């Protein structure tokens, strides 16, 4: 019997999730059907109720429904609760729905895949929205020396840092306050590259040993990463690997086996650059 899964969003035509999960299923010999579903902006809950009533086993949730999913599920994992958003739905044996968030795990796995050291390093996260919030706990679990949040609106950065204060050495830093020394890793959790722009950074944040990671991915280098390279960043990475790794985390939750991601990464990169 084929188990049904989906990704739901608005719009959803651009999603690479069906391709990724089809590759995972083939590799692991799992009998699943994974489709993309476009839900009306006001119809997320009714769309998902119908999907699960028709035998759905699990789902991925993308923009703009992650907060609605968070409010709708019966129970939350700790990382989803802290993220304030859900990107993975799991139908449990008793029929209830569990909400999880695999974005942060996907980011950390991708960074480690690229041999970016996080333990005892100085990390800067740029942005204070949902994308930033979703990765803070997994980053702090890597035991960095410090994690600072930078945002155009400093108050939002302060509030976010306060919300995670007991989880590790996290602070906020003003955009207009120069850095005494460059940081080791910068995570761009803004959508600046989608608007051909770059994120706000304090003067002196980037140095020749700094790795800059843009959660956005594009053919070639993202706009923000191009800018970071001009500022002297030692290394720039984009978020394509994060997309694959958060999907692998979801797949492992659903199916109990973790797929290999290297070939899928290569295939997506080749298609993106064609």
Residues taking part in catalysis = 66
Place of tokens 């939350």: 76
Q: What's the CA gap between 86 and 140, in Å, rounded?
A: 19
Q: What's the CA gap between 180 and 10, in Å, rounded?
A: 43
What value does the CA radius of gyration of the chain take, rounded to a whole number of Å?
19
Q: What's the CA gap between 253 and 16, in Å, rounded?
A: 19
In which order are the strands placed within the sheet that holds 56-61? 32-38, 3-9, 56-61, 88-91, 97-100, 75-76
């Amino acid at each position: 019997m084929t188990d049904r899964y989906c990704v739901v969003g608005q719009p959803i035509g651009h999603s690479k999730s069906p391709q990724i999960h089809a590759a995972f299923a083939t590799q692991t010999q799992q009998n699943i059907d994974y489709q993309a579903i476009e839900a009306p902006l006001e119809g997320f809950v009714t769309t998902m109720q119908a999907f699960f009533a028709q035998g759905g086993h699990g789902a991925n949730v993308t923009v703009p429904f992650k907060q609605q999913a968070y409010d709708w599920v019966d129970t939350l994992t700790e990382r989803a609760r802290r993220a304030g958003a859900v990107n993975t739905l799991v139908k449990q044996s008793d029929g209830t729905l569990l909400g999880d968030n695999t974005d942060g795990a996907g980011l950390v796995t991708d960074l480690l895949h690229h041999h970016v050291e996080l333990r005892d390093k100085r990390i800067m996260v740029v942005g204070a929205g949902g994308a930033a919030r979703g990765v803070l706990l997994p980053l702090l679990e890597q035991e960095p020396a410090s994690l600072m949040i930078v945002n155009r609106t400093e108050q939002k950065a302060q509030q976010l840092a306060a919300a995670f204060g007991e989880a590790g050495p996290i602070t906020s830093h003003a955009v207009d306050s120069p850095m005494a020394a460059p940081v080791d890793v910068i995570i761009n959790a803004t959508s600046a590259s989608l608007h051909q722009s770059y994120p706000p950074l304090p003067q002196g944040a980037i140095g020749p040993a700094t790795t800059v990671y843009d959660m956005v991915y594009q053919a070639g280098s993202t706009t923000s990463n191009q800018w970071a390279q001009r500022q002297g960043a030692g290394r720039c990475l984009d978020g394509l690997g994060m997309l694959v790794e958060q999907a692998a985390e979801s797949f492992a939750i659903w199916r109990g086996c973790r797929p290999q991601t290297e070939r899928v990464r290569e295939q997506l990169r080749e298609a993106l650059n064609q």
